[in-house]
């Protein structure tokens, strides 16, 4: 197995079960923001972890931590994810766009996560864009070789950040990036950048050379790739299932990540957060892409969509995924306000038991 140069070694070793199965639970968009976080967030996480019995949990961005000292914030967040910690489950973290909008720099947020037992977050190579670009191997059931890779990648914030990031302020205006007639559904979300794509591509090649074959993988990032638009706009052709109640907030510019993974032939699925009102999944060019809705209560969300996504990996390289919604598990207890149902065709509908 690769050493620290590949950003792959962790104290926790992930391994397939004897039956060749490994389960990931993805949850995202806690939107904590302060001490007033709704206690149903923790309860919802407890229900999902208990009912799905994952081997690994990916927390998929927009945690939006409150700003205290590192120690106080770590204790505060650890209490929220107690359902994960009490079971000694390994977990990963990726950052979302709103995690960059708190008063706590990402460098400080990294220290919070890195100090929690079982957290496999890694900052990743310093020479590329983003925080938290890393890959975690899931070892074969009977051998110490990577049978699958869990990729975490930072999708950054907004495309309107690019002029400053690239030193283009004198040449370009913000309006040059957000045009009135959109290539996709029209938002200013960002995506992984080219040096991140190159990092993935080269590390994927190293694994293939080391193992003598392509090592299958799944990728987690907060903001969906632009190519996810194809699934949203062609649901029948892409075998799409799930719910879509809003426009897709993705980048107008592709960095080539999807094409790179097609060429590498290793990625079985891309899994995203960010879209509180979309939990759609489908296939494009043979690769699954899916959102996980949202789990938080402190932002816009619909009661009947709140939940998490299961990703089942198999040692033979196969992969399956499905949504698990809280209302299907605990009924109206999953609602933000049990006297009103938020969801369906209208935002507020009086709940009738």
Q: What pLDDT score was predicted for residue 9?
A: 40
Q: What pLDDT score was predicted for residue 311?
A: 98
Q: Is the pLDDT score of 6 beyond 70?
A: no
Task: Give the mean model confidence (pLDDT) for residues 123-130.
Answer: 96
Task: Give the mean model confidence (pLDDT) for residues 16-38.
Answer: 92
Let me know if 126 is exposed, middle or buried by CB neighbors in 10 A (0-12, 13-18, 19+).
Answer: exposed
- For the segment 165-200, what is each residue's pLDDT rounded down to a tens digit? 888 877 777 667 777 777 777 678 899 999 999 999
Domains of the chain: 4-350 (3.60.21.10)
Tokens for 116, please give them: 């929690």
Band the pLDDT of 201: cuts 50, 70, 90: very high
Task: Give the mean model confidence (pLDDT) for residues 45-68.
Answer: 95
Residue 289: closest CA among 210, 352, 234, 214: 234
Q: Is the pLDDT score of 228 beyond 80?
A: yes
What average pLDDT does the chain have?
Answer: 90
Distance CA 222, CA 54 (A): 20
Look up tokens 């309006």; give the residue: 175
Band the pLDDT of 66: cuts 50, 70, 90: confident
Q: Is the pLDDT score of 5 beyond 70?
A: no
Task: Give the mean model confidence (pLDDT) for residues 157-172.
Answer: 83
* Residues 80 and 70: beta-carbon distance below 8 Å: no
Distance CA 269, CA 284 (A): 10
Task: Give the mean model confidence (pLDDT) for residues 147-173.
Answer: 88
Tokens for 131, please give them: 């925080």
Band the pLDDT of 346: cuts 50, 70, 90: low
* Residues 73 and 107: beta-carbon distance below 8 Å: no
Residue 252: closest CA among 185, 192, 196, 193: 185
Task: Give the mean model confidence (pLDDT) for residues 248-269.
Answer: 94
Tokens for 250, please give them: 């993705």
Q: What pLDDT score was predicted for residue 76?
A: 93
Longest dimension (CA), the chain: 60
Sign of CA pseudo-dihedral 4, 107, 55, 78: positive
Q: What pLDDT score was predicted for residue 186?
A: 65
């Amino acid at each position: 197995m690769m050493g620290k140069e590949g950003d792959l070694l962790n104290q926790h070793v992930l391994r397939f079960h004897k039956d060749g199965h490994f389960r990931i639970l993805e949850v995202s968009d806690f939107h904590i923001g302060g001490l007033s976080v709704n206690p149903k967030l923790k309860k919802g996480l407890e229900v999902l972890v208990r009912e799905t019995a994952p081997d690994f949990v990916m927390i998929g961005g927009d945690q939006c931590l409150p700003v205290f000292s590192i120690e106080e914030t770590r204790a505060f967040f650890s209490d929220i994810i107690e359902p994960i910690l009490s079971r000694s489950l390994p977990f990963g973290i990726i950052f979302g766009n709103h995690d960059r909008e708190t008063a706590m720099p990402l460098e400080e947020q990294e220290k919070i996560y890195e100090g929690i037992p079982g957290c496999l977050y890694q900052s990743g190579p310093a020479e590329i864009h983003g925080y938290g670009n890393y890959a975690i191997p899931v070892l074969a059931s009977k051998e110490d070789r990577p049978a699958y890779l869990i990729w975490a990648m930072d999708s950054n914030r907004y495309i309107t950040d690019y002029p400053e990031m690239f030193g283009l302020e004198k040449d370009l205006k913000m309006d040059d990036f957000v045009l009135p007639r959109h290539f996709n559904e029209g938002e200013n979300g960002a995506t992984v950048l080219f040096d991140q794509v190159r990092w993935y591509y080269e590390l994927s090649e190293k694994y293939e050379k080391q193992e003598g074959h392509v090592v299958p993988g799944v990728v987690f990032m907060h903001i969906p790739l632009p190519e996810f638009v194809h699934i949203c706009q062609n649901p029948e052709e892409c075998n799409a299932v799930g719910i879509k109640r809003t426009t897709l907030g993705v980048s107008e510019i592709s960095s080539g990540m999807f094409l790179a993974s097609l060429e590498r032939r290793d990625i079985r699925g891309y899994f995203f957060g960010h879209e509180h009102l979309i939990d759609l999944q489908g296939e494009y060019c043979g690769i699954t892409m899916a959102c996980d809705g949202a789990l938080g209560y402190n932002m816009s969300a619909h009661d009947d969509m709140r939940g998490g996504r299961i990703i089942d990996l198999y040692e033979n390289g196969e992969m399956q995924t499905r949504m698990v919604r809280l209302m299907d598990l605990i009924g109206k207890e999953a609602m933000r306000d049990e006297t009103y149902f938020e969801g369906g065709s209208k935002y507020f509908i009086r709940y009738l038991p």
